[in-house]
Structure 1
């Protein structure tokens, strides 16, 4: 679904399904003015261009200017009194403001316990519901017991990346001219890279120097260690390298599974050579790996801002972006940009944020590694932290969550249920594992953070349905 329609469908579903007030719908995200970060920027750039042109039909510039993030939704997310935040580890004076009355824990237990006993769930079942305004635990079913998180791991990766790098950080791919005269394409860790504009700028820079014939190399030294995930070559993830185009996809898709290149860096360099040739630059000989260290920059390409990359990663459960961002966190914290470096950096950042990590064990940034372990309480506290006015930099963790029945990995779930449009959640699926963690808003307008995880499942569809019923129950 195009991003531009996201707010329309969410507002419509909320009105039809629950007739929740507009402020409460924003709280269920919470979305700034009901929009994702990318949508706000696109609208601001469009309006600025139209105003300058004086009419409605002037197209936006090819590279939109970056606009400041919109302020948080103040009517929904106001600081709670300090005295209200002491209940529950991980709460803070900057928690989301209370709206309405929080569900009664006893009533919630009576509602959720029978659902936690569903035959569709596996041998290990854990869950938690937290009042985002106060940090109070409203429901706890073995919430501190570590379980396989699958793709809900991405919530941790997103939080660590935003807290460490900042929402405006961009991944930069450069082209440099080495001292030996070789042109080198230097990977900046951007799996969303497209090369057309970079080739335009490089060809222009070379021609300005009077160079129309070059040798070409490529540099992937930003990352270290193995590029192959422990699951091996897989349609869910390309080899993790600092240089790739469109996530190494061999088709026209931009999300989901796809056949992937075994050599995405070499493929990117070969494609770049072809683009240079199309622009009148002769590329001599074969493209080869070559260090770009100390070279003179000819051109550069920057990714979308980090907040937009995080939203894309969460909405589409993008494994390539998750592993790229884990490596960026590793580099920013002085660790090797590798699977091990990212796995060590993510929990370190979470600890500094005050997120509890009972029994946590990270081995990647995407959650594809079945040996990852995270407790339900960790996921719920991450979500509550992202709702806090004290941490506006973490808001994309919430705005990127798929919307039940409408977007991303929840587009085909929660249809014709009370949860449609109101449950916003990240899901996870591996063989024998099903998880869901997100936010929802009660009819009274109370923002809840929740996480339900199960291991040892034998029927993925039945487990998924059971988890959806648990999340939907919170909207009653």
Structure 2
């Protein structure tokens, strides 16, 4: 009976994966209890990862930062405010990589109210007794190294995830304006430079949402800014003097190798074609994480089918909605079709877990250069439903 059910699964998945509309496809399904391959199709060929990269970024951040940790923006000064609340000097704002620092309008619109609103910063400064700053607000984003690419605007101190040419200075300016709006006078325009926070008095601090909360948003909504920030911040937690895309991605590769997966990563988000691994590498990693003490937190970062994030409108009202959690991946490209330049999928993928009544599996499906994104997703969803049948 088991053989016939596995055979039916193999026949169905092979038929889907060899459909010419997919162009180029790979897949792997592994039984989590036995570790045996339940199905494989060109599963050892490296393919574009796209946002399934975020699986590895999440695991790396949970390992090196911890689910309950937060990112702390600190406020320091050379001297404490005097009895009249006057700070004779600059107020230094030292970034710790919080990607959700901003105003409430941005946080509400982009993240449904989850974030680090600037009014909490203002409250921390006023609680410290500061009523006037005779110097300026100085932003320090030096925890992350300056880089021209691939992610120059993902800085250790940012505001509303600004893409300004000088995002740290922009953050300092916005914080300065928020303080002035709250009635704190500031003598000079905002500035940016590195500060030795340990050599100054700390006058306040504010914490980001927890790392798990950040990674859950990142995984459910496939948020690229959070992913890149988590990669850079993990590099610092892993021992680097400064976070950078290169140091973060090297750490992600090492984390993957430690969990049985050979991957090549250039961005923590998965943007671009350079991130590559085989479908079997993804299922090997998912199987390893399934046995990890971090699994509960890791699973929470994956959207539930038909319910969360990028899967909220897929596999709705199916059995998959109760038993599947998975990460989507999508990249598009411009192609010439009938004399017109149109956008078509470069990569479309889904990787995650199915936990049925009889068995549980990890799966990875990858379509490259499919003819149509909607058709590709419908096909992947059909294959997921076939896996649900197999697991029940």
Query: TM > 0.5 between the two?
Result: yes
- Name the CA distance, whole Å, in 2 between partners of 1:108 and 1:134: 18
Instruction: Tell me if the contact between 1:162 and 1:394 (Cα under 8 Å) persists in the aligned partners.
Output: no
The offset of 1:280, in angstroms, is: 2.8
Q: Which residue of 2 aligns with 1:448?
A: 361
Distance 1:303 1:429, change over 3 A: same
Q: CA deviation at 1:455?
A: 1.6
- 1:112 and 1:470 in contact (8 A); partners too: yes
**Deviation, structure 1 residue 453:** 0.9
State the Cα deviation string for residues 314-361 of structure 1 (Å, max 9, x = none): 011111110011012211223341111111110112222x3221xx21
Taking the aligned partners of 1:468 and 1:120, their CA distance within structure 2 comes to: 15
Q: State the alpha-carbon separation in 2 of the partners of residues 188 and 103 from structure 1.
A: 55
Q: CA deviation at 1:395?
A: 2.3
Report the counterpart of residue 122 of structure 2 in structure 1: 199
Query: 1:126·1:145 contact (CA, 8 Å) conserved in 2?
Result: yes
Q: Secondary structure of the equivalent of 1:395? A: helix
Matched, 1:185 2:90: no
> 1:311 aligned to 2:234?
no
Matched, 1:461 2:362: no
- Deviation track 1:130-182 (CA, whole Å, cap 9, x = no partner) reads 11223222111122211001000000100111112222221111111137831
Aligned partner of 2:174 in structure 1 is 271
Distance of 1:261 and 1:464 partners within structure 2: 35
Superposition deviation, residue 204 in structure 1: 2.5
Q: What per-residue deviation string (whole Å, max 9, x for no partner) do you get for residues 27-82 of structure 1?
A: xxxxxxxxxxxxxxxxxxxxxxxxxxxxxxxxxxxxxxxxxxxxxxxxxxxxxxxx
Q: Supply the distance in 2 between the matched residues of 1:461 and 1:122 (Cα, whole angstroms).
A: 14
Q: Measure the CA separation in 1 of the matches of 2:3 and 2:68.
A: 35
Q: Give the aligned length.
A: 349
Q: CA deviation at 1:103?
A: 8.9
In the TM superposition, residue 201 of structure 1 has moved relative to its aligned partner by 1.1
Structure with bigger strand share is 2
Q: How does 1:107-186 map to 2 (within 5 A)?
A: 107-123=8-24, 125-178=25-78, 181-186=89-94
Quick check: 2:90–2:134 contact (8 Å CA) kept in 1? no
Deviation at 1:186, TM superposition (A): 1.0
* Residue 241, structure 1, aligned to residue 155, structure 2: yes
In the aligned structure 2, how far is the partner of 1:172 from the partner of 1:392?
A: 25
Per mean C-alpha deviation after superposition, the further-off stretch among 284-293 and 172-181 is 172-181
CA distance in 2, matches of 1:103, 1:343: 42
* Shift in Å, 1:262: 4.8
Distance apart, 1:302 and its partner CA: 1.1
Deviation at 1:211, TM superposition (A): 5.0
Distance 1:157 1:280 in 2: 41
Give 1:424 shift: 1.6
1:349 equivalenced with 2:255 (yes/no): yes
Contact 1:122 1:458 in 2 (8 A): yes
Shift of the 267–450 alpha-carbon distance from structure 1 to 2, 3 Å rule, reads: same
Q: 1:214–1:281: 8 Å Cα contact kept in structure 2?
A: no
| Map of 1:471 onto structure 2 | 384
Query: What does the per-residue CA deviation read over 1:168-201, in whole Å, with 9 as the maximum and x for residues that have no partner?
Result: 2211111111378311111110101222112111
- C-alpha deviation, 1:392, in angstroms: 2.6
**Preserved contact between residue 116 and residue 470 of structure 1 (Cα < 8 Å):** no
**Contact residue 349 and residue 366 of structure 2 kept, 8 A:** yes
Alignment correspondent of 1:218: 139
Partners of 1:102 and 1:178 in 2: CA distance: 73
Distance 1:383 1:321, change over 3 A: same
**Structure 2 Cα separation of the partners of residues 315 and 164 of structure 1:** 21
Q: 1:132 to 1:246 in 2, by over 3 A?
A: farther
Q: Shift in Å at residue 462 of structure 1?
A: 1.6
The answer to whether the 8 Å contact 2:173/2:191 transfers is no
Local SS of the residue matching 2:174: helix
Matches within 5 A, 1:65-84: none
Q: CA deviation at 1:416?
A: 4.4
**Is it true that 1:286 corresponds to 2:174 in the alignment?**
no
Deviation at 1:445, TM superposition (A): 4.0
Q: TM-score if structure 2 supplies the norm length? A: 0.83
Residues of 1 paired with 2:285 and 2:186: CA distance? 49
1:228-282 deviation per Cα after TM superposition (whole angstroms, max 9, x unaligned): 437xxxxxxx82111113433xxxxxxxxxxx55543333212211221233321
Does the residue aligned with 1:223 lie in a helix, a strand or coil?
coil
Give the Cα separation in 2 of the matches to 1:416 and 1:436: 19
Q: Does 1:324 align with 2:224?
A: no
Aligned to 2:293: 392
SS of 2:137's partner is strand
TM-score with structure 1 setting the length: 0.69
| Secondary structure, aligned partner of 1:129 | strand
Deviation at residue 227 of structure 1 after TM alignment:
5.4
Instruction: Encode CA deviations 1:293-313: one digit per residue, 9 max, x unaligned.
Output: 132211111112212221111
